[in-house]
Structures are given as structure tokens and as C-alpha cells.
Structure 1
């Protein structure tokens, strides 16, 4: 059955098609994968070759992701942009708490503001990376969060990554290496968008 990806997949090599339906499935939508399967059937590609080609494709993909890792300068820029965005969120939230919620005591206002600071910090990274694999900073620098093998991280891995940001000195750890503490612990990394082709 033809769909909008039929022509695109007809132009792919056998190796690319096998890569799409095996190691890269998380990077393609269901319609694109369906078109790839149809093209494989049309060409009568021997499925016994899948394992060998899958291993080759996995190796190539790992090398692509490795060479596309971003440097510390990009990570610092991401952090700076995200920090400014987070400060704006906290400022707006603090304004709302102080002028509209108007709790009865100053201690209650202080508690709510501290909760806002902590909660928005975690929520910002978790929500953005769960939904988009990137934060505002990563949108601007055209980078994204991936697993070490280049695949899209699962929800649990993003949550783990988010809480690992609370590790002391995590915010400066990527200055000394391309991957910070929260990358190492959650087994994720930040790469250029071009490292993983998506449809």
C-alpha cells in the first residue's frame, strides 16, 4: 500500500531500508516504517541478510553519533540559555505568588517561592526533554538528547537524567568533558540534530 513515504523509501539502498526497520525504528514514524517494509517486500530482500546488515548498520550509527557529539562550548551555551529561560519562569511564577495568591504569611510566600524554584528547575528539563528530546537551548543550538547508541531515550532515562542534574557540581562537569555527570549516570549524551535522521 502506497503512502507519502513510498517514493522516499524506493530511493533507499537495501542496507538503508534494513537499518530503518531494525536499528532506527524509533527515529521514524509508523507510516515511514510501513513504506520501508513494503519496499523490502517489493525487492524480495533476503531476510537472512538482516542480522549481518543490522550489525553493520548499528556500528555505522554508533560511529555517526560518536563523531557528532557536541563540545563543551555548545553545552555551556545550552546551559546559559536554559538558565535564562528558567529564571524568567521563576520570575513570572514569583510575581504570581506574591501578587495574586497572597498567602497570609511571609513564611508561606517564602515556602511557595522555594518550591517554585526547585519544582520549575526539574519540570523544565523533564517536560522539554520528554516531549522534544531538547530544551530551548538545544532548539537554538540544533542539538538533542539521545542514548549512547543514538536512539531516543525512554521516559525513565529522561527522568533519571533530570534528577541527576541535582548532583553537586553537575552544572560545571561538562566544562571539563563533553558529557556531564547527568549524562554519564543516565547513559545519555547530547548530539547534533543531524546525527540522527528522522522522518
Structure 2
């Protein structure tokens, strides 16, 4: 077993080793820590680097813990979903009504296709616009929550686009019954947290 830990630790980067022997020390088996300490000594890692990386890792861990402690539960996520679902339906109805006044297709196939495009377009548009612009949807404004990256920073536009399209995965809505972060959170590497700025 000891040789196995020594092999694993020998494959870690200097930064990973320093994190293991300092900030993450309590998360590892004592034998693994011994192997990591031995590897650090064997590599003769510079102690000034050691301190810098330890401080950085500590700050990252504190930030992650802060974000994790603010993650909202399934109940609030369900309220967000209900509010946003209603807002999206109203939005889709208004847009379809306005377009229906301007354009009146006579072919049933075109009408059906138009309906699907409208439904998906308003869905994607609503979530993407609101979360890119505000980090929130109407539901999140009501519940005082917002979308963040795993480290608590504001998500990039690409993260929100990924998050929005992942909402279309079947059973995504049911994933919240089992875990705090659903499928679209997991795949876009985002979380919904309490908005402490408000």
C-alpha cells in the first residue's frame, strides 16, 4: 500500500503536493501524507514557493467553502423554476401573439415548425439573456439568489450558454430532487447561491 501511495504522489505536480501536505492534509490518509511528505523532501521543493502556494490554496479553499455554504436548496430552486416557467410562458404567448398579428401562415406544417422555434427560442433567449446580463432570472430576483462559477466568480457568457442549453436535457428538472446542484449546474460548472450583495 505504501508503494502505491508513493507512486501516486510521485505523479503529482509540486503545487498539488504542497496543497496535499498543507491545506488538504486532513482530507488524506496518514500513509498518503507520509508519501507526500517524502516526495516533497525528495524533490527538495523551495520553501518560498511552498509558502506562496500554501497561501493561494488556503485562499481558494476559503472561497470555495464560502460559496458552498451559500448554495441554495431544492425548495428555493423549485420556486425559481415555477416563477421562471410562468414568466417564460407569458413571454412566449406575448411574442407569438404579436407575430401572429403580423404573419399568418396558412400551411399547418409551417405553423407547427414556427411554434417549436418560438417555444425553444424564447426559452433559450429568456434564460441566456437574463443570466448573462444580471446573473439572475426573474425567479432568482424574487428569491434573492444568483448564478456563480464554482469559485464564486461571475460566469462567462459561454458558461451561461452551456447552462441554458443543458436545461433542455430530459430529466434535468428532476435532478434537483436528488442533489443540490442539478445536471445543468454540474455540466456548466456553476452554482446557484444566496445573493449576499442584496
| TM-score normalised over the length of structure 2 | 0.69
Candidates 87, 109, 112, aligned match of 2:114: 112
Aligned pairs, how many? 148
How far did 1:62 drift?
Answer: 1.1
Alignment map for 1:63-142 (pairs within 5 Å): 63-142=65-144
How far did 1:55 drift?
Answer: 3.6
- Give the distance between the partners of 1:107 and 1:136, measured in 2 at CA: 34
Unaligned runs of 5+ in 1: 1-48
Structure ID, larger Rg: 2
Q: Which residue of 1 aligns with 2:171?
A: 169
Q: Secondary structure at the match of 1:80?
A: helix
- Give the distance between the partners of 2:94 and 2:142, measured in 1 at CA: 22
Alignment map for 1:1-199 (pairs within 5 Å): 53-194=55-196
Asked whether the equivalents of residues 129 and 145 of structure 1 are also in contact (C-alpha less than 8 Å), the reply is yes
Q: Secondary structure at the match of 2:169?
A: coil
Aligned-residue Cα RMSD (Å) equals 1.9
Mean CA deviation greater in 98-107 or 180-189: 98-107
Q: Secondary structure at the match of 2:147?
A: strand
- Give the distance between the partners of 1:193 and 1:52, measured in 2 at CA: 29
How far did 1:173 drift?
Answer: 1.1
How far did 1:94 drift?
Answer: 1.9
- Higher RCO (CA 8 Å, separation ≥ 6 residues): 1
How far did 1:52 drift?
Answer: 5.5
Asked whether the equivalents of residues 97 and 109 of structure 1 are also in contact (C-alpha less than 8 Å), the reply is no
| TM-score normalised over the length of structure 1 | 0.68
